[in-house]
Chains A and B, each alone.
Chain A
């Protein structure tokens, strides 16, 4: 390390405690970063595709997660390496943006890094490699646009949407009932979708799970389910044509925010205070009753006395309902959330056709169903399954399926799955490479090779000969000029993905390529890693 000296021959301290910090520079830094990125992607590689395997993760508290979802695996993996963390971020941003393809994006990035390493060894400057990748990613994205198909669906014809969701679900453990789950997801999305604006607010779809029962019992409920029961055991368990008061204030004497003290020093004061207290409760309940509410849903708790008064006045109530659920109830029932009793008016009440309490199994578990709401724009997917891990995994899978359906409503272009899109892109990029003068050409070719790695992994996971299968499919694509040929993972006997009905969304694929390229570019540009020593 070159050191600068001052006039007395003492070295300038540039990095504090220089000796105790480990530092990697130049090619070494790039190589070690690449190795880390590749290691992460290798973990996910086996999870890709319909025959991909799951990972079992044990959290620091000993809880078990079994999942196939790339983003979840990486998030819970306890990665310590900085580059590893970048890959985690990459998968997460794909999850936020698209919701699906979180495994694919990491595998893609890993493949790009592997290719980049080879180029670096040949002495090509990292920036040139990065630029080459950038150019090719643009070619690939444009090419995807060309091979994409528009497909038509409407509120009545949801079959194409269901097919696409089934592709997403087929790689998960729930693929046993992918058909019914895909239908649930699509119907749920269609219920809340704004087809005019082509937008879907996924917050309106609540995914609730309860252990027990079987996966086939999973259902879509046009309404809300709250994991709560009535505050008083003797309140009615079923209310028809409910008018719901949605409150965020507790049934308790008010607690002013400013500090104050009420001093009791005489008997009279003691008694007035008591009277006052009683009046508070009475007023609160009376006010709810006056506006015509037949059900009170409250974010906070009730005092015993208030509880009894509610029961007494025949006003069922639910307490300790979470903020998010409260909002959903408000949306579904068309009511307004009321922060103070004084502001309660009949117009602000929500309406629901049926509110009922349902008991499960042999324990005390009860849930509250709010159905036939005034505004059916909020739905709940209610998942049942054999054990906790299964429910959690199903939740994640449903989330993915919901995201896919949403993306299709936003943009109805699709490309073909099963690696067909990647192979087609790879051919296009390869062909384009020769047109570029200069070193970038090599990078572009490398990019084309990296694109092959996704179908390669798919074939590998499905127990096929990876190299043979991919090259055969590639040849077929070129010969027939048909971008729908992919890997036949399910042994269906054909590799035309159009026949197998394996679709993926265009934006999902484009996003995968763009995000992976970006991260790789970032990693390639790092030439100095300074890490603090062990402490």
Chain B
């Protein structure tokens, strides 16, 4: 007797071949979607949000594209997740990881069709991934000792990363910006201390790195516009009416006179607070929360520059650059650490007035001001720069460097090919497939650049047959070139993460032989 209903009404179940097909197709569709953005001649995508305003994003960044997709296919979700993780972990290679995983699955599909068990494929892939990784490890370069060379490595990496983005026209300029900013961090990976301010107008070339700190705020009315040798108090405190925080307290009065009295007391309290703040011997006060008119006026009277409503990150960065502490109580002026800087002044960028803190004590933080023709350009520029900064900061910690332009893939493919020849049994088919999947990345780069990929890859292979070849695809001239001479480099950490997470994801999807989808939770539709 057949079971009538095992699952809830809308739950579906897919088994065996069908399940595998569903996940292969989903994963490959995702990989094909972002495939065209790969490489220096990759194309961008326009994303229109379904939210209010139908805002538009133009981007080349794999993670950004995938994040904005609404996907129902479970296997596709796995790929999106690895791309997201790649973004969080190393910042770059978000497209490559998806393309590689997609290719691995495409090859796996062919193998499954020839009746090779998924578990055999997985064990082959694992061997291949290990082999590929050790092949890369053998060829890494580490120039940590030599500061000069290391800097040029960083420059190369930054230029390689940026070359696939909208910033490629001015990549040298931006690479210098990014390297300078990251070198200032002195080994920390805390990218929060690099502030990126976007201002529309001007051209991308006008973007610059500022050693000081720029706060996107205006100076209060009637307050000094320029302060030299500023003592800054960075605070997070309520400068509107202070509430009484004791639970259950409320004001209850029986006459207008008393209201006035209490109001007076409140005002007095505020005055006291302001006096205390002024008592710190400061001439600049930056608060995270609002400053009401009354205290602002008091500050203006005392000749103190008061800046209100700086956002949380701004406050933290300001505290970081000026070396002050974020204060919330003001009773012990002698022990609160004040921030210092040489000069505070109002500057104009484009149409907007900004406050510029220069000559700060701690050199760690800095600000990059991006200029560009439109918001979309600026947004994309910010994402690209962020990618470059991420990669650089990771490289500072793990200084191993590889060549770029499809070189690492060729090196890996060669090693994996050799492994395949040595391995007896069905696994060798899977290992072979792995090397084909690796080759797909340079192929895609060449295809996207409009080059004859088959010809180029064949040349590359021949070139790599020699020991220690530096050959890779030179997209600009459309031929095989020496990557070492062309100065195209990539961070080892990124490549390793791409290799490992793509293999892991492919393995995960391959192991599945059944997909059970639960009935979607009912939501109250407001539409």
> Which residues does A use to contact B, with CB under 8 Å?
28, 31-32, 35-36, 39-40, 43, 46, 51, 53-62, 64, 66, 68, 73, 76-81, 84, 173, 176, 211-215, 232-234, 252-256, 259-267, 270-271, 273-274, 276-278, 280-281, 303-305, 307-309, 311-312, 359-365, 385-390, 393, 463
Please name all residues of chain B whose beta carbon is closer than 8 Å to the beta carbon of A68 when the two chains form the complex.
Answer: 511
A130 → B minimal CB distance (Å):
20
Closest to A213 in B: B89
How far, in whole Å, are A76 and B516 apart by their CA atoms in the complex? 9
Q: Are B253 and A55 in contact (CB under 8 A)?
A: no
Q: Are A57 and B78 in contact (CB under 8 A)?
A: no
Q: Does B325 make an interface contact (CB < 8 A)?
A: yes
Given known pairs A53-B511, A212-B88, A273-B244, the reply for A304 and B236 (CB within 8 Å) is yes
Q: Does B142 make an interface contact (CB < 8 A)?
A: no
Q: Does B162 make an interface contact (CB < 8 A)?
A: no
With most chain B CB atoms within 10 A of its CB, the pick from A84, A173, A264, A307 is: A264
Other-chain contact of A308, B9, B13, B236, B320 (Cβ < 8 Å) = B236
Please name all residues of chain B whose beta carbon is closer than 8 Å to the beta carbon of A80 when the two chains form the complex.
Answer: 5-9, 11
Q: Does B227 make an interface contact (CB < 8 A)?
A: no
Q: Does B147 make an interface contact (CB < 8 A)?
A: no
B244 → A minimal CB distance (Å):
6
How far, in whole Å, are A281 and B245 apart by their CA atoms in the complex? 11
Q: Does B82 make an interface contact (CB < 8 A)?
A: yes
Please name all residues of chain A whose beta carbon is closer than 8 Å to the beta carbon of B504 when the two chains form the complex.
Answer: 215, 385-387, 390
Q: Are A55 and B513 in contact (CB under 8 A)?
A: yes
Given known pairs A173-B508, A265-B258, the reply for A36 and B3 (CB within 8 Å) is yes
Please name all residues of chain A whose beta carbon is closer than 8 Å to the beta carbon of B87 when the two chains form the complex.
Answer: 362
Given known pairs A270-B262, A387-B501, the reply for A262 and B248 (CB within 8 Å) is yes
Q: Does B335 make an interface contact (CB < 8 A)?
A: yes
Q: Are B513 and A46 in contact (CB under 8 A)?
A: yes
How far, in whole Å, are A3 and B507 apart by their CA atoms in the complex? 61
Q: Are A274 and B244 in contact (CB under 8 A)?
A: yes
Q: Are B7 and A77 in contact (CB under 8 A)?
A: yes
Please name all residues of chain B whose beta carbon is closer than 8 Å to the beta carbon of A255 when the two chains form the complex.
Answer: 247-248
Other-chain contact of A253, B77, B191, B247 (Cβ < 8 Å) = B247
Q: Are A54 and B7 in contact (CB under 8 A)?
A: no
Q: Are A58 and B251 in contact (CB under 8 A)?
A: no
Q: Are B521 and A61 in contact (CB under 8 A)?
A: yes
Other-chain contact of A84, B6, B119, B251 (Cβ < 8 Å) = B6
Q: Are B520 and A362 in contact (CB under 8 A)?
A: no
Q: Does B264 make an interface contact (CB < 8 A)?
A: yes
When each residue 32-44 of chain B gets 1 if its CB lies under 8 Å from chain A and 0 otherwise, what string results? 0000000000000
Q: Are B258 and A58 in contact (CB under 8 A)?
A: no
Please name all residues of chain A whose beta carbon is closer than 8 Å to the beta carbon of B190 when the two chains form the complex.
Answer: 359
Please name all residues of chain A whose beta carbon is closer than 8 Å to the beta carbon of B293 when the two chains form the complex.
Answer: none
Q: Are A35 and B3 in contact (CB under 8 A)?
A: yes
Please name all residues of chain B whose beta carbon is closer than 8 Å to the beta carbon of A76 when the two chains form the complex.
Answer: 516, 518
> Which residues does B use to contact A, with CB under 8 Å?
1-9, 11, 13, 19, 23, 72, 74-75, 77-78, 81-82, 85, 87-91, 117-119, 126, 189-192, 236-237, 242, 244-254, 258, 261-262, 264-266, 269, 316, 319-320, 325-329, 331-332, 335-336, 390, 393-394, 500-501, 504-505, 507-508, 511-521
Q: Are B244 and A264 in contact (CB under 8 A)?
A: yes
* 6 A-B interface contacts by CB (under 8 A): A40-B6, A43-B13, A60-B520, A64-B81, A81-B5, A213-B89
Please name all residues of chain B whose beta carbon is closer than 8 Å to the beta carbon of A266 when the two chains form the complex.
Answer: 258, 261
Please name all residues of chain A whose beta carbon is closer than 8 Å to the beta carbon of B327 when the two chains form the complex.
Answer: 308, 312
Q: Are A66 and B512 in contact (CB under 8 A)?
A: yes
Given known pairs A56-B23, A56-B74, the reply for A79 and B265 (CB within 8 Å) is no
Given known pairs A53-B514, A81-B5, the reply for A252 and B245 (CB within 8 Å) is yes
Q: Are B516 and A57 in contact (CB under 8 A)?
A: yes
How far, in whole Å, are A36 and B3 apart by their CA atoms in the complex? 6
B190 → A minimal CB distance (Å):
7
Q: Are A305 and B316 in contact (CB under 8 A)?
A: no
Please name all residues of chain B whose beta carbon is closer than 8 Å to the beta carbon of A234 when the two chains form the complex.
Answer: 319, 325-326
Please name all residues of chain B whose beta carbon is closer than 8 Å to the beta carbon of A259 when the two chains form the complex.
Answer: 248
B343 → A minimal CB distance (Å):
24
Please name all residues of chain A whose beta carbon is closer than 8 Å to the beta carbon of B13 when the two chains form the complex.
Answer: 43
A61 → B minimal CB distance (Å):
6
Please name all residues of chain B whose beta carbon is closer than 8 Å to the beta carbon of A213 when the two chains form the complex.
Answer: 89
How far, in whole Å, are A319 and B513 apart by their CA atoms in the complex? 44
How far, in whole Å, are A274 and B249 apart by their CA atoms in the complex? 11
How far, in whole Å, are A264 and B252 apart by their CA atoms in the complex? 6
B276 → A minimal CB distance (Å):
12
Please name all residues of chain B whose beta carbon is closer than 8 Å to the beta carbon of A361 when the two chains form the complex.
Answer: 88-90, 189
Q: Are A264 and B516 in contact (CB under 8 A)?
A: no
Q: Are B501 and A386 in contact (CB under 8 A)?
A: yes
Q: Are A64 and B85 in contact (CB under 8 A)?
A: no
Q: Are B85 and A386 in contact (CB under 8 A)?
A: yes
Please name all residues of chain A whose beta carbon is closer than 8 Å to the beta carbon of B507 when the two chains form the complex.
Answer: 173
Other-chain contact of A276, B81, B246, B261, B515 (Cβ < 8 Å) = B246
Q: Are B515 and A39 in contact (CB under 8 A)?
A: no
Please name all residues of chain A whose beta carbon is closer than 8 Å to the beta carbon of B390 when the two chains form the complex.
Answer: 362
Q: Are B516 and A386 in contact (CB under 8 A)?
A: no
Other-chain contact of B265, A270, A364, A386 (Cβ < 8 Å) = A270
Please name all residues of chain A whose beta carbon is closer than 8 Å to the beta carbon of B19 when the two chains form the complex.
Answer: 56
Please name all residues of chain A whose beta carbon is closer than 8 Å to the beta carbon of B258 when the two chains form the complex.
Answer: 265-266
Q: Are A53 and B118 in contact (CB under 8 A)?
A: yes
How far, in whole Å, are A252 and B1 apart by their CA atoms in the complex? 65
Closest to A268 in B: B265
How far, in whole Å, are A64 and B77 apart by their CA atoms in the complex? 7
Please name all residues of chain B whose beta carbon is closer than 8 Å to the beta carbon of A390 when the two chains form the complex.
Answer: 504, 508
Please name all residues of chain A whose beta carbon is closer than 8 Å to the beta carbon of B75 when the two chains form the complex.
Answer: 56
Q: Are A263 and B518 in contact (CB under 8 A)?
A: no
Given known pairs A264-B244, A385-B504, the reply for A78 and B8 (CB within 8 Å) is yes
B350 → A minimal CB distance (Å):
29
Q: Are A51 and B245 in contact (CB under 8 A)?
A: no
Query: Given A58-B516, A277-B244, 9 more contacts at CB 8 Å?
Result: A36-B3, A61-B521, A66-B78, A79-B6, A81-B3, A261-B249, A307-B328, A359-B189, A387-B85
Q: Are A56 and B237 in contact (CB under 8 A)?
A: no
Q: Are B6 and A59 in contact (CB under 8 A)?
A: no
Please name all residues of chain A whose beta carbon is closer than 8 Å to the beta carbon of B516 when the two chains form the complex.
Answer: 43, 55-58, 73, 76-78
How far, in whole Å, are A256 and B249 apart by their CA atoms in the complex? 12
Please name all residues of chain A whose beta carbon is closer than 8 Å to the beta carbon of B501 when the two chains form the complex.
Answer: 386-387
Closest to A366 in B: B190
How far, in whole Å, are A252 and B245 apart by their CA atoms in the complex? 8
Q: Are B246 and A277 in contact (CB under 8 A)?
A: yes
9 cross-chain pairs, A with B, having the tightest CB-CB distances, nearest first? A308-B328, A386-B501, A212-B89, A53-B513, A60-B521, A386-B504, A54-B511, A255-B247, A362-B390
How far, in whole Å, are A255 and B250 apart by their CA atoms in the complex? 14
Please name all residues of chain B whose beta carbon is closer than 8 Å to the beta carbon of A58 when the two chains form the complex.
Answer: 74, 515-518
Please name all residues of chain B whose beta carbon is closer than 8 Å to the beta carbon of A263 when the two chains form the complex.
Answer: 250-252
Closest to A391 in B: B85
How far, in whole Å, are A162 and B261 apart by their CA atoms in the complex? 76
Q: Are A261 and B248 in contact (CB under 8 A)?
A: yes
Please name all residues of chain A whose beta carbon is closer than 8 Å to the beta carbon of B9 when the two chains form the complex.
Answer: 80
A252 → B minimal CB distance (Å):
7
How far, in whole Å, are A490 and B78 apart by their CA atoms in the complex? 28
Please name all residues of chain A whose beta carbon is closer than 8 Å to the beta carbon of B264 when the two chains form the complex.
Answer: 267
Given known pairs A215-B504, A312-B329, the reply for A233 and B246 (CB within 8 Å) is no
How far, in whole Å, are A59 and B246 apart by their CA atoms in the complex? 45
Given known pairs A233-B326, A361-B89, the reply for A305 and B262 (CB within 8 Å) is no
Please name all residues of chain B whose beta carbon is closer than 8 Å to the beta carbon of A359 when the two chains form the complex.
Answer: 189-190
Please name all residues of chain A whose beta carbon is closer than 8 Å to the beta carbon of B5 when the two chains form the complex.
Answer: 80-81
Please name all residues of chain B whose beta carbon is closer than 8 Å to the beta carbon of A31 when the two chains form the complex.
Answer: 1
How far, in whole Å, are A307 and B189 apart by their CA atoms in the complex? 26
How far, in whole Å, are A276 and B23 apart by their CA atoms in the complex? 64
Please name all residues of chain A whose beta carbon is closer than 8 Å to the beta carbon of B500 when the two chains form the complex.
Answer: 214, 386
Please name all residues of chain A whose beta carbon is closer than 8 Å to the beta carbon of B252 when the two chains form the complex.
Answer: 263-265
Q: Are A211 and B85 in contact (CB under 8 A)?
A: yes
Please name all residues of chain B whose beta carbon is closer than 8 Å to the beta carbon of A273 when the two chains form the complex.
Answer: 244, 246, 249
How far, in whole Å, are A326 and B43 apart by their CA atoms in the complex? 50
